[in-house]
A and B are shown apart, each in its own frame.
Chain A
């Protein structure tokens, strides 16, 4: 625990010194300020305007529902914004620890390579979790104060965003351990996320594909890669309708993907010479 705490603390210190920590919080604060001052949300006797759209009890069944729709789209915006920003911020934190002269000293200490890499992973995840919580919680409070409607389901964006980042961070770690390149560590998870969004359109694409093998190949990739789109969609639907969306498949397959990738990274890290 002492070692883990030291490694997590070191990751925080490095994130702070590299301005990643402050950069993340500054950009999140900017978004929070936009919600606070720029967005016009007015609620007056049975009508609400949000982003300039006016809803009345005539157009939408209830003000509550309008707020839910707004909240669901804001949560998606935060999900995408927070995740991509976090991946960019985390890209250099694994390669930096593998620099010659730094890694050899770390490996001379009485700790396993697994705990070294997992400590770094945990530290990175905690930096981002802190930022996600700050961002979503602040936006939730601002929206609640402006509309006087408090929707706790909106806070679901915190665990979902952190979960997705935890999965993508496994890819950052794997690419970092193999290539020691910060640029490649950003490209790989962002690329995977974009492919995943494309693969999620399988219901439409399958009808367009002519051969059986290409349909199977599409579904194969859909099932093995993390479900960036499906997770966001499940979160949006839960916030929107307050009922259970399809969570098991996207969470299960994404978690399995992350676990396998992280195990692969650990295995490669164990075998490498520095």
Chain B
């Protein structure tokens, strides 16, 4: 097995309209390395290319250019997908199967022996809180139950890499905690977890690494602890003239447009006082001053929606 669970080199996907000749570049020149055994979050606005990227890893979508490896093996080889567990977004599990039957079917496709499946399926149904639902047809399951069953399906063959596309979508808070506990248990066993999620707080609290896509390109990537600045102060102000704002930005403070005006993040108390003085001298109004730490949300807004960050 390679040192990296996922490696992509210049991955690109261009969708071409057959008749109009129009091109949509969904993913562009994306090179990414996900170390084995880490918890990795993939973020991006709608249409940023996250799902296309995941589908290229799993060969549901063919890249226009570039290549991908899973644990050092060419992702196009079926064997490369053997150590992968996948929970797709908007999954459609066959509703004619029972929970047990569904796990049995996908377990068999993952290469598990009948004996292994018979032993593990009750264990995994129990793990995701569906012990009493194994014999019920999945058309009777709620969305949250389907999500948990999908997670059991992804875990059944004991994968080394788990790719989860919006894993807590439609799951209630109790179910979310249950999923979180299951995932925490996996990381202790060295399983790499790759999460594609819209829930920034979830990624921030769970993942060690993050990548943010913008317009199909990699905008930011790295360890979350390195990407987020430490403790500091947030100054929110209104009616700040553009010249004053440009001056503030030049001083190294990060700014973000909000409905109230502009939010300015600085690291020291002296910087905060200096910024307040400049704003007031330029005729701006201070709305609030608060001690804060920069969050993944700030980072996301700055990278995925730079037009909203002043």
Interface positions of A (Cβ within 8 A of B): 2-3, 5-7, 9-10, 13-14, 16-18, 99-112, 271, 273-274
The answer to the question of B60 belonging to the interface, with a C-beta cut-off of 8 Å to chain A, is yes
Are the CB atoms of B97 and A13 closer together than 8 Å? yes
User: What are some 12 contacts across the A-B interface (CB < 8 A)?
Assistant: A2-B111, A6-B109, A14-B94, A100-B92, A102-B94, A107-B58, A108-B60, A108-B84, A109-B81, A109-B106, A110-B78, A111-B109
Are the CB atoms of A102 and B96 closer together than 8 Å? no
Shortest distance from the beta carbon of A172 to any chain B beta carbon, whole Å: 19
Interface string of B214-244 (1 = CB under 8 A from A): 0000000000000000000000000000000
The answer to the question of B205 belonging to the interface, with a C-beta cut-off of 8 Å to chain A, is no
Shortest distance from the beta carbon of B257 to any chain A beta carbon, whole Å: 36
The answer to the question of B82 belonging to the interface, with a C-beta cut-off of 8 Å to chain A, is yes
| Complex contacts, B55 vs chain A, CB 8 Å | 104, 273-274
Are the CB atoms of B78 and A111 closer together than 8 Å? yes
Are the CB atoms of B60 and A104 closer together than 8 Å? yes
| Complex contacts, B15 vs chain A, CB 8 Å | 273
Closest to B57 in A: A108
* Cα–Cα distance between A100 and B93 once the two chains are bound (Å): 10
Are the CB atoms of A110 and B111 closer together than 8 Å? yes
Total contacts A-B at CB 8 Å: 82
Interface string of B195-217 (1 = CB under 8 A from A): 00000000000000000000000
* 18 extra interface residue pairs, beta carbon distance < 8 Å, beyond A105-B91, A109-B106, A274-B60: A2-B108, A9-B105, A13-B94, A17-B96, A100-B90, A100-B92, A105-B86, A107-B60, A108-B58, A108-B60, A108-B88, A108-B163, A109-B110, A110-B80, A110-B81, A110-B109, A274-B55, A274-B61
Are the CB atoms of B93 and A102 closer together than 8 Å? yes
The answer to the question of B144 belonging to the interface, with a C-beta cut-off of 8 Å to chain A, is no
Are the CB atoms of A102 and B109 closer together than 8 Å? no
Are the CB atoms of A6 and B79 closer together than 8 Å? no
Interface positions of B (Cβ within 8 A of A): 15, 55, 58-62, 78-82, 84, 86, 88-97, 101, 105-106, 108-111, 113, 153, 163
| Complex contacts, B84 vs chain A, CB 8 Å | 108
Closest to A112 in B: B78
| Complex contacts, B58 vs chain A, CB 8 Å | 104, 107-108
Shortest distance from the beta carbon of B181 to any chain A beta carbon, whole Å: 24
> Which one of A100, A101, A109, A274 lies within 8 Å of B109 (CB-CB)?
A109
Given A101-B91, A273-B62, answer yes or no on A108-B96 (Cβ-Cβ < 8 Å).
Answer: no
Are the CB atoms of A6 and B86 closer together than 8 Å? no
| Complex contacts, B62 vs chain A, CB 8 Å | 271, 273
| Complex contacts, B101 vs chain A, CB 8 Å | 13
- Which 6 pairs across A and B sit closest by C-beta, in order of nearness? A17-B96, A6-B108, A101-B92, A108-B86, A109-B109, A110-B82
Closest to A10 in B: B105
Closest to A15 in B: B96
* Cα–Cα distance between A9 and B113 once the two chains are bound (Å): 15
Shortest distance from the beta carbon of B86 to any chain A beta carbon, whole Å: 4
Are the CB atoms of A3 and B108 closer together than 8 Å? yes
* Cα–Cα distance between A17 and B96 once the two chains are bound (Å): 6
| Complex contacts, B86 vs chain A, CB 8 Å | 105, 108
Are the CB atoms of A102 and B81 closer together than 8 Å? no
Closest to B85 in A: A108
| Complex contacts, A9 vs chain B, CB 8 Å | 105
| Complex contacts, B59 vs chain A, CB 8 Å | 107
Shortest distance from the beta carbon of A139 to any chain B beta carbon, whole Å: 31
* Cα–Cα distance between A249 and B88 once the two chains are bound (Å): 48
Given A108-B81, A109-B109, A109-B110, answer yes or no on A10-B60 (Cβ-Cβ < 8 Å).
Answer: no
Shortest distance from the beta carbon of B259 to any chain A beta carbon, whole Å: 36
Closest to B107 in A: A6
* Cα–Cα distance between A5 and B111 once the two chains are bound (Å): 12
Are the CB atoms of B96 and A104 closer together than 8 Å? no
Are the CB atoms of A102 and B78 closer together than 8 Å? no
Given A13-B97, A13-B101, A273-B61, answer yes or no on A106-B92 (Cβ-Cβ < 8 Å).
Answer: no
Shortest distance from the beta carbon of A242 to any chain B beta carbon, whole Å: 45
